[in-house]
Amino acid sequence: MSSTDVRQDWRFWPVVCLALLYPINNSLIMLAIPLYFFRQGTDLIIIGFLVAGITLTYSFSPLIFRNIGDKIGRKSSIIISLLGTLIAQLIFYFTLDPLFFFISRVTEGFVTGLFWTNLQSSISDNALLDHKKKLSRYNFGWNTGVLLGFLTGALVLFFMNDDIKMIFYVAPIFIFISLLISIFFFKESKKVSIESANHLNREVALNSTNKNWEIEKLYIPVILPILFVVAFSFAKGTINLLYPIKSEILGFAPYTVFLLSFLALIAQLITTTGSSYLSMNSLKKFSIISILVLIIIFIIFGVNSEFIIFAILYLILGFFGGILISFGLKLSVMLNIKKHTSRYSSTIESSIGITYLIAPIFVAFIADFQLTLAFFVVALVFIFFLVIGLIFLKKLEINFD
């Protein structure tokens, strides 16, 4: 079989669809939790645990399941994950009691460990693929999914007279659709290592499809992709708890929380899709600028009370946060291809899970004392990210551009 046949004999659109649909579900629930339970009079610290519930188990489940996809296949792993998620979320139709809700989210987080790792690894399994193009479409998919999730939430609340409970009834539908796609349309990618690709056709494998990466010549400190996805996740995990509560205190309509998140995702969609094509040197510079900007905007979040300013801040957050997550995912995929493994995807997903677990609980304790202080503390954490980034970006050896 020629290298061209190996590259083309794969349906990629189901990967994009799955990357799109799951975030719709998750973004709907993610913002509905603080809005709904705050109105129910639930203690702020308990809300923090409910927001972080899914990540309590997702922080380690990708590592537990890191070899399962290689044994039973990407398709079977994704189907098991989606089926488990759907079963866990069916409880929403019966009760939203905090205890049962927490159990549902913890269960979902555990089975989700099979989803994102195998979805990403289906891209890096084949070294002959045009990974920049695939990764760009993958980033477009999950960002659009979150975007549509926020838009759906805003529309549901607007037309349902701010009945937040409806969000929990709508969200599982997208998991059901994802399950059908994974069963009937998802296709396994052929596994081709760099060595095999070289044997098939070195010119096509490295010079044509991946001429800007030349992965064999690149040294990547493993901490860098982890740092960037953690920084992105920390920003999103904290703002998704702190701003909805501040919005309620300021008296803004609940649908506007989803609307601002929708605006942020428009900017994030642009940068995550476009930055996949940027050179490594450009991404190095933009990553530092992004962290600096996030430090500033979290300080402004803490002191501002004007809605239009919040809208601008969300746009900036989405734009520069998108650069960080795009750079982190690009480096992790490159590490997977270089080592012919999926363990870096597992590590990245586990890091995201741990961050989304710690971030809302951490800031919930601070916000319970003083909400403005919580925003300032987040800014301090990003100063730490900035220092670490400056140290290790110097070790990222780039012998090409």
**What is the DSSP annotation of 239-265?**
HHHHHHHHHHHHT--THHHHHHHHHHH
28/167 Cα distance (integer angstroms): 6
Res 192: pLDDT = 57
More confident residue, 337 or 261: 261
Tally of domains within the chain: 1
* % of residues, the chain, pLDDT over 70: 84
Is pLDDT above 70 for 340?
no
Res 21: pLDDT = 93
Is pLDDT above 90 for 333?
no
Instruction: Tell me whether residue 297 is in a domain.
Output: yes
Domain of residue 347, CATH code = 1.20.1250.20
Res 129: pLDDT = 63
Instruction: Tell me whether residue 98 is in a domain.
Output: yes
pLDDT digits (tens, 9 = 90+) for 361-375: 899 889 988 999 999
Asked if 224 and 396 count as a contact pair (C-beta separation under 8 A), the reply is yes
Give the pair of three-digit tokens for residue 214: 């030349």
Residue 163 is given by DSSP the state: -
Instruction: Tell me whether residue 287 is in a domain.
Output: yes
What would the mean pLDDT of 254-262 be, rounded to a whole number?
Answer: 86
First to last CA, the chain: 31
Measured CA to CA in angstroms, residue 309 lies from 150, 221, 293, 316, 362 at distances of 19, 37, 15, 11, 25
pLDDT range class, residue 196, cuts 50, 70, 90: low
Res 329: pLDDT = 81
Instruction: Tell me whether residue 140 is in a domain.
Output: yes
Q: What is the pTM of this model?
A: 0.70
What would the mean pLDDT of 98-111 be, rounded to a whole number?
Answer: 93
pLDDT digits (tens, 9 = 90+) for 113-146: 889 888 877 776 665 666 567 777 887 887 788 8
The mean pLDDT of the chain is: 82
Query: Domain range spanning residue 205?
Result: 3-393
pLDDT range class, residue 206, cuts 50, 70, 90: very low
Neighbours of 277 (CB within 10 A): 13
Instruction: Tell me whether residue 401 is in a domain.
Output: no
pLDDT range class, residue 353, cuts 50, 70, 90: confident
Give the pair of three-digit tokens for residue 86: 């759907």
Instruction: Tell me whether residue 398 is in a domain.
Output: no
Instruction: Tell me whether residue 399 is in a domain.
Output: no
Is pLDDT above 60 for 109?
yes
Please count the helices (runs of H) and the strands (runs of E) in the chain: 18, 0
3-state class of 306 per DSSP? coil
Asked if 217 and 103 count as a contact pair (C-beta separation under 8 A), the reply is no
Asked if 327 and 217 count as a contact pair (C-beta separation under 8 A), the reply is no
Residues with Cβ within 8 Å of 211's Cβ and at least 6 positions away in sequence, in order, are none
Res 253: pLDDT = 87
3-state class of 113 per DSSP? coil
Residue 368 is given by DSSP the state: H
Is pLDDT above 70 for 290?
yes
Is pLDDT above 50 for 171?
yes
pLDDT range class, residue 250, cuts 50, 70, 90: very high
Please compute, for residue 119, the number of CA atoms within 13 A of its CA located in the half-sphere on the CB side.
31
* % of residues, the chain, pLDDT over 90: 34
What would the mean pLDDT of 58-82 be, rounded to a whole number?
Answer: 85
